[in-house]
Structure 1
Amino acid sequence: MGKLKVGVIGCGSIAQHRHLPEYAMNQNVQIIAVCDVVEERAQEVAEKYGAKVYTNYEELLQSGEVDAVSVCTPNYLHAPISIIALNAGVHVLCEKPIATSKEEAQAMIESAEKNGKKLMIAHNQRFVPSHQKARQLIENGELGKIYSFRTAFGHGGPEGWSVEGKEGWFFQKEKAFIGAMGDLGVHKTDLLRYLLGEEFVEVGAFIETSAKDFANVDDNAICVLKTESGIIGTLAASWSYVSKEDNSTIIYGEKAILRLEEDPTYSLVVQYATGESVNYKLGKIQSNENGGQVNSHIVEQFVESVVQEKEPPVNGEEGMKSLEVILAALRSNETKQITRV
């Protein structure tokens, strides 16, 4: 089979720093087309990758020129564009969160099934080496019974790295639907579901806009989560960590504590109940700080699932389950009650 012909819809920061460079690095891929409503932006990116320019995504999808696309648009367009793509017989790699509602997510999943096409959601936290190692340790029973966890994802906010700064869609509720919870929180619910191997059943949340007076979406959220077996913990998502970003997770079990991406040198530290501790140096997590040049493995996994005709590791169902936890958190914040997922 020839190379996979790929298009990228939306040429903002995530496309420029992750999707396009990772497609370009992939031997199985040819970047055919890019699309953005801002023509100059599309033009600039297209020149770099020798791609054709579109300003209308429907034209790109109906062109028959691409086998697969990345959807790197504001959140409110994830579902509409993905569905049109899947119905046009094009495989889809969609940025997170999958969509803005459960109904939209289900419609995307149905379109993928109906058309026999791949749908993958770009939850890259699963592919961070320390997170993969932690999952292995948990699966192998190294921690024994798991009691609790805490996880955080915070930085100074997207205005620092998004192509449009403060004017960007991230801060506009009608385009983004949610703020830090959709940008960062959903990554962490996905990670915890992956690490713990369980679904969340209940959520309580406080969700505020405290740092960004120009935004009408949340920039600080704290959630309390409970899994089906009764593991409880907290999740913080924030755009108000003004110095160093935090992307850490700690898991407390009966035999050991796992500290993930917390120590600057060791991406995984295992502290056993016996008092001994083991440090793993497993390569850095992707962050906006190191220029984002660490391979997120998302594109590689997506391309592999298309080429080898296998189920993507983060399919639509997984994306929807991770979104549902966030939707429950929003309901909890509104009703001031613990909410079932």
Structure 2
Amino acid sequence: MNKVKVAVIGCGSIAQKRHLPEYKVNPYVEIVAVCDVVESRVAEVAEKYGARAFVDYKEVLQLTEVDAVSVCLPNYLHASVTIDALNAKKHVLCEKPMAVSLDEANEMNNAAKANQKKIMIAHNQRFVSSHHKAKHIIESGELGKIYSFRTTFGHGGPENWSIDGRTSWFFNKEEAFVGAMGDLGVHKADLIRYLLGEVSEVGAFVETSAKENTSVDDNAICILKMESGVVGTLTASWSYVSGGDNTTVIYGENGTIQLENDPDYSLKIDYKNGECVHYKLDKIQTNDEKGQTTTHVIDHFVDAIIYDRDPLVTGEEGIKSLQVILSALESNESKQITKINSIASVY
């Protein structure tokens, strides 16, 4: 079997901690090129992975040997670089959030269809063992009717993880567009859609309270109503200074599922009859190198290419999760509940 030849565009933390190491250990992948506007950074990465170094991504896209690219760039560049890559006949794995507007996201999907190439959005929460197990339990009917949920993703902020620290693009509104909602909230929007179906309405309070000298959001609390009628909350925060929170709790007729809410058990079910069941599963990935585990995103993307099948998180899925975040921002501005299908195509 011929190896999938990959290029990684953008060599910041997400590329160096997730994409590149996971491509490296996949036996069906060869990393042939890396690209970053910081010459010293890309030179170091290229040497480490035995790849060619570039500072202009368009030169990378001209390489006929490249089959697929990872787009690991600031949010405002996701659409333009992804579309250029698709038009260059490359498959694309794009970091989240997919784009900064629905128009951009639609253009990305249209480019994928026109060029008959795959686009996958790097929403990794669907691949977490506890989340996969929870989906099976919910769909089996074991919990009975689902009543409510809460899902949270918070940590101390990207200055503690981004390769550029406090000067990172994450804090520049023109480059990031959104803060904690785009960094963390969109992951949880994708997860809750994966577990419970589509979101129909959103109400939100979105604030900048923990970080100075930035106008991007660092705290958001959203109320989501699902098409099924289930209501719950989604929280995204960069203000958790003493540790992170990446938990989800789902309340059902017959019991409650806790996901990633216990240091020893990734999934716990407390039944209303008093019975408790605890599952020890693969731990969720973290930004702590000691706790770093594979996200499975890379392997899934590569398999989709090799076996010519749709990835789990297609561009169509990515746009639906983006809609939740855009609806939250609109709700915060309008001080009204926003219906998902009513938001403007350009936010």
- TM-score interval (norm. to shorter): over 0.9
Deviation at 1:46, TM superposition (A): 0.4
Counterpart mapping for 1:126-165 below 5 A: 126-165=126-165
Contact preservation (8 Å) 1:18, 1:292: no
Q: CA RMSD in A?
A: 0.8
2:194 corresponds in structure 1 to 194
1:251 corresponds in structure 2 to 250
Q: Secondary structure at the match of 2:216?
A: coil
How many residues align? The count is: 340
* Mapped partners of 2:74, 2:307: distance in 1: 30
* Mapped partners of 1:296, 1:289: distance in 2: 13
1:284 corresponds in structure 2 to 283
2:344 corresponds in structure 1 to none
* Mapped partners of 2:16, 2:290: distance in 1: 11
Deviation at 1:2, TM superposition (A): 1.2
Deviation at 1:292, TM superposition (A): 5.5
Unaligned runs of 5+ in 1: none
Residue type at the aligned position of 1:180: A
1:335 corresponds in structure 2 to 334
* Mapped partners of 1:193, 1:134: distance in 2: 13
Counterpart mapping for 1:42-191 below 5 A: 42-191=42-191
Residue type at the aligned position of 2:192: L
Change (3 A) 1:292 1:266: closer
1:268 corresponds in structure 2 to 267
2:32 corresponds in structure 1 to 32
* Mapped partners of 2:16, 2:291: distance in 1: 10
1:215-267 Cα offsets, whole Å, 9 max, x none, are 22000000000001110000110000001100000000101100000011100
1:20 corresponds in structure 2 to 20
1:209 corresponds in structure 2 to 208
* Mapped partners of 1:307, 1:268: distance in 2: 32
2:305 corresponds in structure 1 to 306
1:240 corresponds in structure 2 to 239
Q: Secondary structure at the match of 1:262?
A: coil
1:61-114 Cα offsets, whole Å, 9 max, x none, are 022231000000000000000000001000000000110011111111111111
Residue type at the aligned position of 1:231: V
Deviation at 1:289, TM superposition (A): 2.3
Residue type at the aligned position of 1:148: S
* Mapped partners of 1:208, 1:59: distance in 2: 40
Residue type at the aligned position of 2:303: E
Deviation at 1:290, TM superposition (A): 4.0
Deviation at 1:28, TM superposition (A): 0.3
* Mapped partners of 2:214, 2:120: distance in 1: 29
* Mapped partners of 1:175, 1:286: distance in 2: 26
* Mapped partners of 1:207, 1:134: distance in 2: 29
1:179-237 Cα offsets, whole Å, 9 max, x none, are 000000000000000011x1101000000000001222000000000001110000110
Deviation at 1:177, TM superposition (A): 0.4
Contact preservation (8 Å) 1:147, 1:232: yes
1:26-52 Cα offsets, whole Å, 9 max, x none, are 000000000001111111100000000
* Mapped partners of 2:232, 2:199: distance in 1: 11
Contact preservation (8 Å) 1:188, 1:235: yes
* Mapped partners of 2:330, 2:205: distance in 1: 10
* Mapped partners of 1:211, 1:143: distance in 2: 38
Residue type at the aligned position of 1:89: K
Unaligned runs of 5+ in 2: 341-347
